[in-house]
Amino acid sequence: MSSQNHEGKRIYQVWPGNNRFYCGGRLVFGPDASSLLLTASMIGGPAITFCVRMVYLIGHRYPAFHSLLLMGAVMITILDFVFLFLTSSRDPGIIPRNKEAPEAETPQAISQSLEWVSNKAGKAKLPRTKDITVNGFSVKVKFCDTCQLYRPPRASHCSICNNCVQRFDHHCPWVGQCIALRNYPFFVCFLSCSTLLCIYVFVFSCICMLEVHGQFYLVLADDLILGALVLYCFVSVWFVGGLTVFHFYLICTNQTTCENFRYHYDKNENPYRKGILQNLKELFFTKIPPSLINFRDWAPEEEDDVEVGSIASERGRAYSPRDTDMSSGKPDHNNIDLRLQNQEYGNKSDAAVQEISVDEGATAIGSVDQEPANLRRNSSVDVRSR
């Protein structure tokens, strides 16, 4: 590694999303990661209270029975916290951003759209949506103005994290992270363990209270700690249990929460459904794909002065030939890029970019057939990783 790279910054340090990075970019949290403290206290408080009560009862009633209850509660609680950490600290499937919008496709390759969008430099117009085929079904994909790309099928832009995310399910405020392709299995396991812990504490708290002559109401007044645990778990199990059942329904039908509320696949054909067994296998027994972005990579120097949002994960990435080989009679966009790099990043604005593109892109207007006067050739550079 050269000393020049050592003086630079890593991708996680300049990433334009709202994520929080820890341990040198190894842990990726959402902007509301502080909510984990509330979630951890709501899980750990009752669980620790139950364990402390079991330790007390080991020396006063049935040591073997209460020892088994203690070990079971400890194991479930540890599993619950492990799955909570894996859900909240992983890259959920963030999609790398583009520096500029992709080049416009031929009219035959895109669907008819009444709404068009311009890239940041105003040099090209693209349809807001286009149709692609998935498992024999036509699926619309939308253009993201923030990330400057067409979102892959099932992807969506999270307004809280400010990222486009693969197979986006929802943003969960309880774990402070997007629930998507790379952490959804851990999220389901977290919900299942939370439900199991609630049922476990509720059932065995009732049993311990009934050990004293079977008089429930008298024991409730005598042991307020177990009584409070019974009430707390009875209320909580309806919430986490309902979420667990709902997500297992989504798994069996191969839907996301976003798709369930937006497209209503119960009434329409679902292009992703493969049958219950295959849907379960796809989620729990398929290897989780690697992250599209290595946030610990060094940020390319040429990107520092242009636009932070275009940084991707691979090092030593070069521009594609279509961006460097310009035929005669076309505007020299390499000169435009050099002029942009000489500007200070903090003072750069969309208006400045448009002013440059107007001067040097005027010769390209006459070469566009049957297009508006302000339509110009796009010179985007696709810097996605992997």
Query: Residues 251-295: pLDDT tens digits?
Result: 999 999 998 888 777 666 888 888 899 999 999 999 999 999 999
Q: Are 28 and 21 contacting, i.e. CB atoms less than 8 angstroms apart?
A: yes
Query: What span, in angstroms and rounded, lies between the C-alpha atoms of 363 and 134?
Result: 40
Q: What is the pLDDT of residue 227?
A: 85
Instruction: Please say if 198 is a catalytic residue.
Output: no
Per-residue pLDDT of the chain (386 residues; tens, 9 = 90+): 444 445 688 999 999 999 999 999 999 999 998 999 999 999 999 999 999 999 988 887 788 888 999 999 999 999 999 999 999 999 999 999 988 777 665 544 444 444 555 555 455 567 888 888 888 888 889 999 899 899 999 999 999 999 999 999 999 999 999 999 999 999 999 999 999 999 999 999 988 887 765 555 666 666 788 889 999 999 999 999 999 999 999 999 999 999 888 877 766 688 888 889 999 999 999 999 999 999 999 988 754 443 444 444 443 333 333 333 333 333 444 443 434 344 443 444 444 434 433 344 333 333 334 333 333 333 333 433 33
Tell me: the pLDDT tens digits for 342-379? 444 344 444 443 443 334 433 333 333 433 333 333 33
What pLDDT does residue 343 have? 41
The domain ranges of the chain are: 3-94+174-284, 98-145+324-386
Angular region, 134: left φ>0, alpha ψ -120 to 50, beta rest: beta
Nearest to 340 by CA among 283, 312, 284, 379: 379
One of 147, 164, 172, 208 is an active-site residue; which one?
172
Can you give 206-255 as a three-state secondary structure string?
HHHHHCCCCCHHHHHHHCHHHHHHHHHHHHHHHHHHHHHHHHHHHHHHCC
Q: The tokens 């390499």 sit on which residue?
A: 334
Q: Report the pLDDT value the prediction gives residue 327, as an integer from 0 to 100.
A: 36
